[in-house]
Amino acid sequence: MTRFVLASASPARREVLRSAGIDPIVRVSDVDEDAVAAALPDGTPPDVIVVELAKAKAAAVAVTILDLSADHVVVGCDSMLLVDGELQGKPHTAEVARARWGEMAGRSADLVTGHCVLRYRNGELTAEAVDCSSTTVHFAKPEPDELDAYLATGEPLQVAGAFTLDGLGGWFVDRIEGDPSSVIGIGLPLLRRLLGDVGVSVTQLWGHPAS
C-alpha cells in the first residue's frame, strides 16, 4: 500500500485531499521559506521559486519519515500571488495585508502553486516529479468596513496573497480562471499527473486512513 504524506500545516490543503478521497499523513516541514527564496539567483522566474519552495518542504519532511512504510509519496506545495510581476506570500501582519488588498482590490492576479512529489520505496528515493500551476483570480473591491472586518478575523494574515477562496475571503473573489483547488493550495489535476509520473494512481490512495 502506498501511503500519502502531505508536507504542509495547511488545513485547507488537507481538506481538499480528504474531500477527494485521500486522508493524508500530515507532517510539517518548518522550512524557512524566506531563506529558501533569498538563496535563489536574482531574476529567478516565479514558477521556479514556488517549485523550489515546494521541493524544499517535501525534502525536509522526507528525511524524517523514511521508516514510515515500504512505499510512500511525500507531497510538498507552495503558493504565492503574482501581482504586477511581484510574488506575494503570507503577509503576517494586518498592515501588510491591508496594503496588499489596496493593490489587488478590483483587479486580477495569478495564484501560482509549486508542487513536488517524492516517491520512496524501502527508504530510497525512486522518483521525483515537480511542476507549477497558475490560476487567475479576479478580486472584488471590498468596502472599507468590509476590509476592516476581514482583516480583524486574522484569516488573511497567514495565507498566500492575503485571501482565501474557501473561507471568508471567498466573498471578495468575483471569479477565477483555472483550477479552484490550486487556489486553495493543492491542484488536484496537476497532482494527479505528477503522481502518475512517479507511478502512483490516485485511485490507489482512495480510502486509506492516515496513521
* Domains of the chain, residue spans: 3-205
HSE value, Cβ hemisphere, 13 Å, CA-based, for 137: 32
Query: What pLDDT, on the 0 to 100 scale, is given for residue 165?
Result: 94
Out of 3.90.950.10, 3.40.50.10470, 3.90.1200.10, 3.30.420.40, which CATH number does the structure's domain 3-205 have?
3.90.950.10
Query: What pLDDT, on the 0 to 100 scale, is given for residue 69?
Result: 66
Angle between helices 94-104 and 144-153 (to 10 degrees): 140
Task: Please give the C-alpha separations between residue 191 and each of 88, 114, 198, 204, in angstroms, as whole numbers.
Answer: 23, 10, 11, 14
Q: Which residue type is seen at 11?
A: P
Query: What pLDDT, on the 0 to 100 scale, is given for residue 83?
Result: 93
Active site (catalytic) residues: 78
Task: Please give the C-alpha separations between residue 134 and each of 47, 52, 67, 69, in angstroms, as whole numbers.
Answer: 9, 15, 34, 33
Q: Where are the alpha helices (DSSP H) in 93-154?
A: 94-104, 144-153
Taking every pair of C-alpha atoms in the chain, what is the biggest distance, in angstroms?
55
- What pLDDT tens digit does each residue of the chain (211 aa) get? 889 999 998 899 999 999 999 999 999 988 888 888 889 999 999 999 999 999 999 999 998 876 666 789 999 999 999 999 889 889 999 999 999 999 999 999 999 999 999 999 888 899 999 999 999 999 999 999 999 999 999 999 999 899 999 999 999 999 999 999 999 999 999 999 999 999 999 998 998 655 5
Q: Return the H-helix or E-strand segment holding 201.
A: none
Q: Say how far apart CA 196 and CA 190 lie, in whole Å.
A: 10
- Supply the pTM of this predicted model: 0.91
Query: What pLDDT, on the 0 to 100 scale, is given for residue 54?
Result: 96
